[in-house]
Structure 1
Amino acid sequence: MTQELIDDEIVTELDISHLVIEDDTPVDNFQSEVQQRLLVEPLYSSKALPSPFLAAANVGLFYKLKGEPIVPDVMLSLGVQRADDFSQRRNRSYFVWEFGKVPEVCIEIVSNAEGDELILSPKSRQKGKTAAKKEIYAQIGVRYYVVFDPLQQIQGEDEMNSALLRVWSISPEGYTELTPPSGITTPGESVWLNSVGIGLTLWEGQFEEEIPRLWLRWCDRRGQVISTGAERADRLAERLRAMGIDPDEI
């Protein structure tokens, strides 16, 4: 048996029965849940990225066989796609050894001061944790790390430091900040993720309700937001009405 076949056999037979891939832990709050969907759905409905790719929210990212995963609020991985059969445990989470790569982008949406996005919280240190999420993402080679703090929960000098959005890009020395030193603080400001071919911007507006809120959204190189499927449908309906056509009768 060749070494290649031996390696293939080992990878195929990895035992992951000890790994907890679903713990039924609820999302933090309504805003986080809606924000996650706003970052996933437009990528699939808009065709803003070439297929295949995988965008997912609140799914375990397993980067080693032993130990707990890290769970980004949103991740984006290019050149891969989900398997069809979710009855197989190895298809229900993002196992790096199954996909053959780490995601290009991992996004954390801050909902409280205990998330360890940039530094370890006192509670996490008491539990024996040794690395914040930023350190873990850098160690495993995630190209872009994004932290969005819409409610300004972590604003210390070693954290967001008055910014609403900060983005880091991987380098041989670890992460270097891609956003300005002061971060991004104003709706309409954007940052371009060159290796992915898409950007991120702060956007203030109505999404699924009448109350305008501050959101993180994907954008094109000009800073224009990538629309959701519903937004594109609404614009089409408006154009039809302007032409004297009732979209409800089509």
Structure 2
Amino acid sequence: MTSIITASPNLGVSLPDHTQLPESDGTFVKNFQEHPQSILLTDSIAPVLQQLHPDGQYCIGQDCGIYWRLTDPPERGAEAPDWFYVPNVPPTLDGQVRRSYVLWQEYIAPSIVLEFVSGDGSEERDPTRITGKFWIYEQVIRPPFYGIYEVRQARVEVYQLLAGKYYLVTANERGRFPIPPLGVELGIWQGRYQNLELPWLRWWDANGNLLLAGSERAELERQEKELAQQQAEEERQRAEQERQRADRLAAQLRALGIDPEA
């Protein structure tokens, strides 16, 4: 049974920081889709976050631990969301890459936490006090938005924290869920990414435009450049045809004894 170590900064007890706590609980990613899904979310939201945080003060966790209590062993006092975003915190601590996100060291809760369901979703919806993932997010970590993504059902369930309790968010007319802290919408997109054809969890802007990943932006730019080159070549060919037509007409006029320049 996990034992809870009680300690309080107010009592002068030295609490461990991110460098002293385990960065892994020994588990591994459940399937081949989870890492590409996290990368897609991070990559496509990057331009939005750069606008929201021109000073670079934010961090994103991908399958990283959020420590919320002291336990023995320590890793049992952490949850490791598949993806989360925290505003207004430095991306590194004391010049070091974060090993985990420690609430008693940071104090700022994530704005949104996302879990990718690998089973039947009961773990992500477990309201059991102290041990249930849903309870921990709702009552302790308290991100304003909590999303449960089920790739097999091609759906995402989004909860918003209101008055200390999670309530289901209703999808908008586009079938997506507004996330006001980010100024974006969250929803499902069916398509191919990193050689996988799946219903992916993705972001859209407030106008309903899909936020593209870097590879997609590069491909779009390549297509636009190719189209521009094609249009330029067509314009060049039209100009050449017009020149040739003018040359033929001038030759015909000269054959009739008429100066084409007159």
- TM bracket, shorter-chain basis: 0.7 to 0.9
Secondary structure of the equivalent of 2:40? helix
Task: Find the counterpart in structure 2 of residue 144 from structure 1.
Answer: 145
Per-residue deviation, 1:115: 6.1
Label 1:114 to 1:170 Cα distance change in 2 as closer, same or farther (>3 A).
closer
Distance (Å, rounded) in 2 between the aligned partners of 1:230 and 1:104? 26
| Unpaired runs of at least 5, structure 2 | 1-8, 231-262
Counterpart of 1:244 in 2: which secondary structure? Answer: helix
Corresponding position: 1:196 with 2:206: no
Q: Which residue of 2 aligns with 1:32?
A: 34
How many angstroms apart in 2 are the aligned matches of 1:118 and 1:222?
Answer: 31
Greater share of helix? 2
Q: Distance in 2 between matches of 1:53 and 1:9?
A: 30
Per residue, is there more strand in 1 or in 2? 2
Per the TM alignment, residue 100 of structure 1 is displaced from its structure 2 partner at its CA by: 2.4
Give the 5 Å matches for 1:92-171: 92-113=99-120, 116-119=123-126, 131-140=131-140, 141-152=142-153, 164-171=155-162
- Post-superposition Cα deviations, 1:172-199, rounded to whole Å, max 9, x if no partner, equal 141111125xxx9x9x621101133222
Deviations 1:52-79 (A, max 9, x none): 2212210001122335201101001111
The alpha-carbon distance between structure 1 residues 35 and 147, as it changes in their structure 2 partners (threshold 3 A), is: same
8 Å CA contact 1:45–1:228 kept in 2: the answer is: no
Shift of 1:218: 1.4
- With normalisation by structure 2, the TM-score equals 0.71
Structure 2 counterpart of 1:226, one-letter code: L
RMSD over aligned CA atoms reads 3.0
Over alpha carbons, which structure has the higher Rg? 2
- Match of residue 22 from structure 2: 20
- Do the aligned residues in 2 keep the contact of 1:21 with 1:60 (CA within 8 Å)? yes
Aligned mates of 2:143, 2:51 — CA distance in 1: 18
Matching residue of 1:227: 212
Runs of 5+ consecutive residues of structure 1 not aligned to the other structure: 1-6, 153-162, 246-250
**Cα distance in structure 2, aligned partners of 1:8 and 1:119:** 32
CA contact (8 A) 1:61 1:95 kept: yes
Aligned counterpart, 1:44: 46
Seq. identity, %: 24
State the distance in 2 between where 1:86 and 1:105 align. Answer: 24
Pick from 85, 93, 104 the counterpart of residue 76 of structure 1: 85
TM-score by length of 1: 0.74
**Alpha carbons of 1:101 and 1:46: their partners in 2 closer, same or farther (altered >3 Å)?**
closer
SS at match of 2:92: coil
Quick one: structure 1 residues 68 and 47, their matched pair in 2 at CA, closer, same or farther if it must change by over 3 Å? closer
8 A Cα contact 1:46 1:227, kept in partner = no
Report the CA distance shift for 1:94/1:130 in structure 2 as closer, same or farther (over 3 A). closer
1:10 CA drift (Å) = 5.0
Q: Does 1:64 find its partner at 2:73?
A: no
Question: Contact 1:198–1:219 at 8 Å: present in 2 too?
Answer: yes
Which residue number in structure 1 is paired with residue 226 of structure 2? 241
Following superposition, the deviation at residue 224 of structure 1 comes to 2.0
Corresponding residue number in structure 2 for 1:179: 170
Q: For 1:178 and 1:97, locate their aligned partners in 2 and report how far apart those are by CA, in whole Å.
A: 29
